[in-house]
Structure 1
Amino acid sequence: MARVSTYINTQGRTEEAFEFYSQVFRSPISFRQRFSEFPEMANSLPEHERDGIMHIELSILDGHILMGTDMLESAGHEIRIGNNITINLEPDNKDDADRFYNLLSQESTEHSNGMSDMDWGAYWGCCLDKFGVRWMINFAKK
C-alpha cells in the first residue's frame, strides 16, 4: 500500500532525536539500521560515522511514520533549512515512482541523478522542487 511519511535529517544526532521522539509519542522505534551494516559503505566512512544511522522509523499519531538518517559530513552533507525535512513518497509501483520524480524535479536545481536501483533494494530518487520542497521517492521492489 502506498504511503507518505516525514523524513528527518540530522548531523549525527538522528538516534538521539528518535529516542527523544519515542518518549514524546510513547512509541517504540520500529526499525533501526546503521551504516556499519553495509560493509562496503562503512569501510569508505571515517570511523566516527560508521555507527551512524542510515535509516530509522517511528510510528506516531495513528500510524504516521517519522523516518530519519544521519547526514554524513565526510560526504559533504550539511544541514540547512530546506534539507533537514523531506516528504517521503512510497508508491505502489515503479511507473508512479518515475512519474512523481519526473514531475517534481522539473525546474529543479538540486536532485539526484534520476531514479536508481539502490543497494538496500529500493528504486530511489530525491529532488528539491521548484518551490523549495524536498521530496524523496522510494519504491520498495518486491
Structure 2
Amino acid sequence: MATMHPYLNFDGKAEEAFNFYKSVFGGEFTFFAKMSDAPDSDKLSEEERNRVMHVALPINEQTILMASDCVPSMGHVLKEGNNMYINIQADSREDADRLFNGLSAGGTIEMPMEDMFWGDYFGSFKDKYGIQWMVNFSNQGQ
C-alpha cells in the first residue's frame, strides 16, 4: 500500500520553516539538501543556490513532512495553490506508474515519471481538479 506525505513549497523560507517545525515536532531531518547540491547549480544566483532543494522531517512512523523552495530563475513562482503537494511513496515502479497515470488523467503533467539524479523514480502533476501531486518510488526508503 502506498503512503502519502504532505509536500510544501516555500519562496526562500523552507529552511527557516522546517527548523521551526522541527522545534515543535522534534526529531531530526532524514534528508536536507540545498539547490547547490543539484547538477548545474553554478548557473543559479548565490541566493538561489542557498535555497532548499529538499527537506524531510518525520512526524511519526507513517508521515513525513517534506518541502522545497521555489527557484525563480527557473520560472517557479509561489502562489496560493502551488504551495502544497500530496506526495505518494509507491511500493514499486509499476505502482508508481499506475498511480501517476491514473491520477494525472485529464490533468497537467509538470514532470513525467523518470529516474532522477538523486536515485529515485519521480514525477509530478496537477490533477483535473487542481490538486498537486508527486509520485515517488525509492529502493532506499524515504
Matches within 5 A, 1:1-142: 2-38=2-38, 40-61=39-60, 63-108=62-107, 110-141=108-139
Amino-acid identity (%): 41
More displaced 10-residue stretch of structure 1: 55-64 or 88-97 = 55-64
Paired residue secondary structure (1:114): strand
Give the whole-Å Cα distance in 2 for the aligned partners of 1:71 and 1:113.
Answer: 15
Query: Residues of 1 paired with 2:120 and 2:66: CA distance?
Result: 16
1:121 deviates by 1.1
CA separation in 1, counterparts of 2:125 and 2:4? Answer: 16
Distance 2:118 2:31 in 1: 14
The alignment yields a C-alpha RMSD, in angstroms, of 1.7
Segments of 5+ residues of structure 1 without an aligned counterpart are: none
Q: What residue identity is the alignment partner of 1:91?
A: A
Secondary structure in 1 matching 2:133 = strand
Residues 34-72 of structure 1, C-alpha deviations (whole Å, 9 max, x = no match): 12123x331121121112111101112554210010110
Structure 1 residues 3 and 92, CA, compared in 2 at 3 Å: closer, same or farther?
A: same
TM-score, normalised by the number of residues in structure 1: 0.89
Q: TM-score, normalised by structure 2?
A: 0.89
Q: Which amino acid aligns with 1:98?
A: D
What letter is aligned with 2:70?
M
Alpha carbons 1:25, 1:61 under 8 Å: kept: no
Q: One-letter code of the match for 1:3?
A: T
Q: Judge conservation of contact 1:29–1:59 (CA < 8 Å) in 2.
A: yes
- The gaps in structure 2 that reach 5 residues or longer are none
Q: Distance in 2 between matches of 1:96 and 1:63?
A: 18
* Letter in structure 1 aligned against 2:132: R
Displacement of 1:113 in angstroms is: 4.5
- The count of residues paired between Structure 1 and Structure 2 equals 140
